[in-house]
Amino acid sequence: SPAGGVSLRLCSTRAALEGINKPVVDRIIRVDHAGEYGANRIYAGQMAVLGRSSVGPVIQQMWNQEKDHLKKFSELMVAYRVRPTVLLPFWNVAGFVLGAGSALLGKKGAMACTVAVEESISDHYNSQIRTLMEEDPEKYKEILQTIKQFRDDELEHHDIGLEHDAEAAPAYRVLKTAIQLGCKAAIFLSERI
């Protein structure tokens, strides 16, 4: 399976959806789909600017994983009957602008963006893992497996960003803080709207 070995067991019957905390699952799948959608748009923006540079293959590799993540959350949305956030058109533009804008600062700027976003997403995934473990780890086994695998992928992207001089980007701390505040706002809004 392209999503890190995580299989999809479709919940096509009402019985499969019974007993789950639907509001919690809806919120998790909706926001994770939005986040992976936004990540895809960020990498698309970075590739538009840096795709033919020496760092292009690195960005493409991370983007390919994000495409798999988005595909998996799109499948989970259908399986668990979750509607997407109404903010997808906004994340489409905002993600691309963030990706292209950070890439215009050069490789280091793009990598700083990657570090900031992936750290935020990893923290967010850890919070979701704690929530589902408190709910019932066996009942949410499939979703937990998916989130854990994708969290590990995001941490790998974070480390790749650091290995490619993210911290040497102009105004790294300011850039990272601003991007992470944006991520927190995006998470908050996408969970609810």
In this predicted structure, the answer to whether residue 97 has a pLDDT above a threshold of 90 is yes
Share of the chain above pLDDT 70, in %: 92
State residue 22's pLDDT score.
94
**How far is Cα 98 from Cα 171, in angstroms, rounded to an integer?**
16
Question: 95 pLDDT exceeds 60?
Answer: yes
- pLDDT single digits (tens) 39-58: 999 999 999 999 999 999 99
* pLDDT (tens digit per residue) in 114-155: 999 999 999 999 999 999 999 999 999 999 999 999 999 999
Question: Is pTM, for the whole model, over 0.75?
Answer: yes
Residue 77 neighbours by CB under 8 Å, 6+ apart: 29, 30, 33, 83, 84
* Domains (range + CATH), the chain: 20-191 (1.20.910)
